[in-house]
Structure 1
Amino acid sequence: MSATQFNNCRQCINGSLVSLPLTISSSGLILPNSPLPPNTTIVDLKGAIISPGFIELQINGALGFHFAHCSDPTTYSAGVTKLAKYLPSTGVTGFYPTIPTVSKEVFQEALPFLKPRDVANGASVLGAHVEGPFLAPSKKGAHDAANMHIPSSTSLSSIYGSQNLSDSIKILTMAPELQGALSHISTLKENYGIRVSMGHSAATHEQGIAGTKAGASLLTHTFNAMNPLHHREPGLAGLISDPNPPYFSLIADEIHLHPRIVGIAYRASPSHCILITDSIELSGLPDGTYPGHAQIPFSQKKEGNKVTIEGTDTLIGTCIGLDECVRNLMAWAEIPVEEAVRCVTENVANAMGLGDRGKLEAGKRGDFVVLDDNANVKETWVLGKKIL
């Protein structure tokens, strides 16, 4: 067995910068730094920072491809691969392709293509994040209410298909206050090992607590598409300061959230804060007006990172990259890069129970990002192979 050792670098470990070499075997796994295998190649990183590869928990699409678009299997599969090869440019080495509220036919057609798998020269597909259809119509945002369901009157398998529950879906966003939601949450956790995130919800604080007791362990794009934090009714957002809080995701794009709110939320629980992009298929495309699709039956207007339903102020999503979210968190919470990257690495791995990634530890995958002190991505490596 041979290996590669990266030296003259600073590793992001538990929120600190540690000057240590990183050694990766020819099979792509992190090794102890000694003894070195024979024929070890030495790579000088010239003082750069090494972070674990970023993990994207919620992404709808990019480069004109949306995970809710499933016209034919060949095109869809090619679209997933295209995104997997694009995302390392933003530091991402693993991602959860996200399907928002669509018809059961679209769910069942698309989900088989989103099973966990490695992609050559790209980020790993980690399984699907399903956002809907068990959401509150009053908090639908850009979701199509016509495709929403009440949990008590609709089985999980009838919407997603039994095989997809077992093989493809890894995280599911649901409104806990809906009739029958608590039973679905319990079933998803106990029977399938699927993480449940509460979101697109008008739940009270007490209903949020009931959701966590049933098994929900995350909040989806906290503060967005949920009741605002109120001094007499904290709602779902109030859960982030609990002694044992759920993991909570934030869209740090200055469109969905004010910078001060991002700083407040991060400081409530740095170990449970997760940055997501929630980026849509217009990411990477020029500004302009684009047609809708299965989820958004309206024209979409892109201006910079911001995308709205044409003629309204209703946000559809953003076009930000995960690396830009990290830089924003650094500025808004006034924290260094080694603290900020936890919100796209180990916090996500802990939330999702990923034992093979998220930290630079022996035995884990050699997925890492080379950064400068301002969190600009210089290189991305997957299983010890440079792909950017």
Structure 2
Amino acid sequence: MASATQYINCRQCISGSLISSALTIDSNGLIIPNSPLPENTQTIDLKNAIISPGFLELQINGALGFHFAHYGEPATYQAGVRKLARYLPKTGVTGFYPTVPTVSSSVFKEVLPFLKPEEFPDSASVLGAHVEGPFLAPSKKGAHDAANMHIPASSSLEDIYGEENLRNSIKVLTLAPELPGALSHIEKLNKFYDVRVSMGHSAADYEAGKKGMSAGANLITHTFNAMNPLHHREPGLAGLISDPSPPYFSLIADAIHLHPRVVGIAYRSSLTHCILITDSIELSGLPDGIYPGHAQIPFSQLKEGNKVTIENTTTLIGTCIGLDECVRNLMAWAEIPVQEAVRCVTENVADAMGLKDRGKLEVRRRGDFVVLGADGTVKETWILGKKIE
């Protein structure tokens, strides 16, 4: 058995540039120096391919008919998580944050134990939960259930999520910073639980956003969506993205949630802080057609391409885009090459979340990488140095 594998004739996406260099991964799936090589190292010629770190998905609600907020019983729920983890490498994703929108406290406590960081064979890693709510502004609820929303000053974090889940499962939490008690929640999440805080579903003005950042928030959730619009006299949360020290900010680059020109403007405001997300719903990966509703959306759903609406209306439910398509869209709309676009699904996510084990093609990190065409097409996905079929 080979003690390591060296991938030669490849161009690595590093900090927005293409670097011609070999990549060496040991038998444990970790990146090691290219020299000296261990004995019995095998060589794989990638024939001048472009390789990127494995993509990281910061916000995804579900796919293949499975939604992270819909809980029946443990075995079915666990099977759904594993099925989705096995599916995502097809889109270049090697790690993801399953996202639970606003639900009752009892549902949070049911599902979050199954969303703590975990790895499955030949699958994308579960990196921990992204909880989007319930501390959101009802005026910016979007598709969230306002009946389950809470004011931070009136509800403790532990009561809503459970202390065990705050310590072990939740890695990023979206809230509205202008709500009473929100700043103290941000400080506690940041300092006591090491949870990243993202500001979103919010009517905050620019100054409230600055206060949120001072309290410890370092992200904005699906920028421009479910927040006050950018105004020339009051820039709101969106105005933070061009600050000298901006937060990381996520964008849904699907031409449904945002106009392509807006995506280009936002990306140009900070190349190192822009993050692409899908925020995709459970119909992602399924054929077009009409699907039944559920507890959160009690109407029939019409899927047409990436767009899902309530049947016989123009009311948007969500998107079904893949993260690889978001990368290709950014390439086209910002007129940038693939090595620049992939930063927004790799390095920038790792930096935002403080990940030291993935997201960059560096020694001691995981050997997760994606072989890409110059047009951003995913040709192969490798996890821990193993090609996923």
- Establish whether TM, by shorter chain, passes 0.5: yes
Structure-1 residue corresponding to 2:348: 347
Contact 1:68–1:294 under 8 Å retained in 2 = no
Secondary structure class of the residue paired with 2:192:
helix
Secondary structure class of the residue paired with 2:37:
coil
Pairing of 1:96-107 with structure 2 (within 5 A) = 96-107=97-108
Query: Are residues 1:204 and 2:213 paired?
Result: no
Q: Distance in 2 between matches of 1:312 and 1:137?
A: 22
* % identity of equivalent residues: 78
Structure-2 residue corresponding to 1:39: 40
Structure-2 residue corresponding to 1:183: 184
The TM-score, its normalising length taken from structure 1, stands at: 0.98
Structure-1 residue corresponding to 2:272: 271
The TM-score, its normalising length taken from structure 2, stands at: 0.98
Contact 1:152–1:180 under 8 Å retained in 2 = yes
After superposition, the C-alpha distances for 1:170-193 in whole angstroms (9 at most, x for unaligned) are: 000001111111111111111100
After superposition, the C-alpha distances for 1:312-341 in whole angstroms (9 at most, x for unaligned) are: 433222100000000000010011100000
Query: Are residues 1:238 and 2:239 paired?
Result: yes
Pairing of 1:66-105 with structure 2 (within 5 A) = 66-105=67-106
Q: Distance in 1 between matches of 2:232 and 2:314?
A: 27
Contact 1:58–1:277 under 8 Å retained in 2 = yes
How big is the shift at 1:211?
Answer: 0.8
Q: Distance in 2 between matches of 1:314 and 1:184?
A: 33
Secondary structure class of the residue paired with 1:192:
coil
Pairing of 1:353-368 with structure 2 (within 5 A) = 353-368=354-369
After superposition, the C-alpha distances for 1:338-373 in whole angstroms (9 at most, x for unaligned) are: 000000000000000000111101110000001111
For structure 1, the residue ranges without an aligned partner over 5 or more in a row are none
Secondary structure class of the residue paired with 1:9:
strand
The residue type paired with residue 95 of structure 1 is F
Q: Which moved more, 1:185-194 or 1:314-323?
A: 314-323
Q: Compared with structure 1, are the counterparts of its residues 96 and 110 closer, same or farther at alpha carbon in structure 2 (3 Å cutoff)?
A: same
The residue type paired with residue 199 of structure 2 is M
Contact 1:128–1:169 under 8 Å retained in 2 = yes
For structure 2, the residue ranges without an aligned partner over 5 or more in a row are none
The residue type paired with residue 276 of structure 1 is I
How many residues of Structure 1 are paired with residues of Structure 2 in the alignment? 388
How big is the shift at 1:117?
Answer: 1.0
RMSD (CA atoms): 1.0
Q: Distance in 1 between matches of 2:315 and 2:198?
A: 22
The residue type paired with residue 29 of structure 1 is L
Structure-2 residue corresponding to 1:134: 135
After superposition, the C-alpha distances for 1:90-116 in whole angstroms (9 at most, x for unaligned) are: 000000000001111111000000010
Structure-2 residue corresponding to 1:306: 307
The residue type paired with residue 358 of structure 1 is G
Q: Distance in 2 between matches of 1:57 and 1:313?
A: 27
Secondary structure class of the residue paired with 2:249:
strand
Q: Which moved more, 1:282-291 or 1:73-82?
A: 282-291
Q: Which moved more, 1:201-210 or 1:285-294?
A: 285-294
How big is the shift at 1:72?
Answer: 0.5
